[in-house]
Amino acid sequence: MSTDYSSTTQGGWSQTLKRVVVTIFSGLGWLDYFFACVLLGAAIFAEIKFSAYMDGYEQAILFAAVPVLSVLAWGWSPIRNLMIGAAGLALLAIYFYQTPDGGSLARAEQAFFLKYMLSSQSAILWMSVLFCLSTLFYTLAFALRAQALGPTASKLSWAAVLIGVTGMLVRWYESYLLGADIGHIPISNLYEVFILFSLITALFHLYYEARYQSLVLGAFVLWIIVAAVGFILWYSIARGAHQIQPLVPALQSWWMKIHVPANFIGYGTFALAAMVAIAYLLKQKNILADRLPSLELLDDVMYKAIAVGFAFFTIATILGALWAADAWGGYWSWDPKETWALIVWLNYAAWLHMRLMKGLRGVVAAWWALVGLLVTTFAFLGVNMFLSGLHSYGTL
């Protein structure tokens, strides 16, 4: 009996795994496989050329990115186009940075395309302009019922993401032009992570826009990105935050490469859910209701955004604890940033629990998601402004 049960269980797992594999690989064309091979080739090239600058963990992250990015590209082809476009523009920028003696950061003020388009600072400025234009077109399309403006708004948002990702890649390269000991992935301070937040939020919005075939959501979601863009511009002008600085010792770790992106997938999707909640509340109050999608659609987007964000925020919190143990000798120290991260986690854990166990929906769920944005904003920014602790390197 035991043997039969074991073999049956093994057969069940085998069939389940087979179905998962078939689901992933069914419908893939030669371009999908070719793209995966290109990613693998790029990883091998990076390993050969830059292995001296990477430890074993960073090399593992490099090669783990290949299947992750491949599956993302297979599941949503616009991501593949984005990766190809951003990589092409970044390589063009690197080409313009070259001199007979090697790369020079001074070329950013000498080469026309770098100065006005492809240097990291120029690219981020273009990203900011395009996001603002996209928001304007989304809002006009919603306010004036001008459906023809919607596709233009979406294209502008995609263009902003493309040039923004390019700017981040070029900034990464520029940090190494300052010195091999200075070079680092550009997610180390508030300026850089606000850019990351804008890009992640926009990408999730564009995904849900395509999935639900609704151009209305942009009239709400893009405003939180405009707020982030406003902070980026202010932080650049008032504090010179666009200048690349060496990493503080606590951030000189491979943990940063996985903890921070996971964290900001959470922040971005929580923000998106809150902006969708505003649309839900307007619809429920019968304000502009004829211009908004159905309550069921808005509720579904809100739920899925929070579910995805919670999953990644949970991963980020675990990674943060492991990083803290590595850097400071303890998994948890009740540092203000850690405490507020826990508050954010508990807030959305309770939201999902009430949704799944008690069927929470409607106005209460929407208001809760909106209040969650305030909690998340304080954890993201308020702690840096008003509190101090082990994470003081992120202060304003």
Q: How far apart are CA 368 and CA 242, in angstroms?
A: 35
Looking at residue 9, its pLDDT comes to 43
Looking at residue 199, its pLDDT comes to 98
Q: How far apart are CA 29 and CA 36, in angstroms?
A: 11
Q: How far apart are CA 125 and CA 118, in angstroms?
A: 10
Looking at residue 384, its pLDDT comes to 77
Helices (H) and strands (E) in the chain, counts: 14, 2
Confidence (pTM): 0.91
Looking at residue 193, its pLDDT comes to 94
Looking at residue 79, its pLDDT comes to 95
Looking at residue 336, its pLDDT comes to 86
Q: How far apart are CA 56 and CA 239, in angstroms?
A: 36
Q: How far apart are CA 182 and CA 178, in angstroms?
A: 6
In whole angstroms, how far apart are CA 210 and each of 49, 213, 219, 264, 302? Answer: 38, 5, 15, 22, 15
Tens-of-pLDDT digits for all 396 residues of the chain?
444 544 444 455 667 666 666 666 677 888 999 999 999 999 999 999 888 888 889 899 999 999 999 999 998 999 999 999 999 999 999 999 999 888 889 999 999 999 999 999 999 999 999 999 999 999 999 999 998 999 999 999 999 999 999 999 999 999 999 988 888 999 998 999 999 999 999 999 999 999 999 999 999 999 999 999 999 999 999 888 889 988 888 788 889 999 999 999 999 999 999 999 999 999 999 999 999 999 999 999 999 999 999 999 999 999 999 988 887 788 888 888 889 999 999 999 999 999 999 998 999 999 999 999 999 999 888 887 776 655 555 556
Q: How far apart are CA 228 and CA 202, in angstroms?
A: 11
CB 176 within 8 A of CB 195: no
Q: Token pair for residue 291?
A: 């211009």
Looking at residue 325, its pLDDT comes to 86
Looking at residue 20, its pLDDT comes to 60
Beta strands in the chain (DSSP E): 98-99, 102-103
Looking at residue 50, its pLDDT comes to 86
The ranges assigned to domains in the chain are 1-75, 80-394
Residues 6+ apart with CB under 8 A from 76: 207
Q: Name the residue with tokens 């850690």.
A: 338
